[in-house]
Amino acid sequence: MFDIGWSEMAVIALIALVVIGPKDLPKTMKTIAHWMRKARSLTREFQSGIDEMVREAELEDAKKALEATRGGNLQRTLSNALDPDDEVGGEVRAIEKEARSESSASSSEDGESNAEKAAAKMPSANVAPAHSLTPAAEDTPQAGTAEGGGEPVPAAGDEGSKKTA
């Protein structure tokens, strides 16, 4: 801290012993220790005050950011983040518009339900489930056959379906 070595401390102690005297030296050392503790306490208090001001400033910045998000439209923000070109949104609006026009036309007609009409208009697609690792059945050869036709191909480790030559 003050870059005082042992030799300098010994010189200071010797001068204090001569100047203060051996009788009052312990009382003086207690007083010096008391003031040193007080100075350290004030330093800690000052440092904690500075830290508290920094925390409050950070909290104020976070509060401002939160207020900025509250003032905005969350749905618009998410929409801009997920679909910035509004391609999906445009498709959804077009489908909704078509569905509304079909429902208004079908309300004047009797017969098939709206779901049946929509199913009849939509092309059928063979789509694999989302959790599937294999493509849809139309795109791949039939299960258990080699290249879509011929003899069934035995599965790896399938003992019962092996043929002997």
Highest mean pLDDT among 26-40, 83-97, 148-162: 26-40
CA 3 to chain centre: 49
Q: Indicate the domain borders of the chain.
A: 23-71, 74-109
Q: Give the pLDDT of residue 38.
A: 96
Of 161 and 69, the structure prediction assigns the larger pLDDT to: 69
- Give me the pLDDT at residue 27, please: 93
Which pLDDT value is given to residue 76? 75
Q: What percent of the chain has pLDDT over 90?
A: 22
Tens digit of each residue's pLDDT (9 = 90 or more) over 67-121: 777 766 777 777 778 888 888 888 888 899 888 888 777 665 555 555 566 656 6
Q: Residue 100: what pLDDT? A: 87
pLDDT for residue 156 is more than 80: no
Three-state SS for 12-73 is HHHHHHHHHCCCCHHHHHHHHHHHHHHHHHHHHHHHHHHHHHHHHHHHHHHHHHHHHHHHCC
Q: Which of 136, 152, 133 is nearest to 144 (CA)?
A: 152
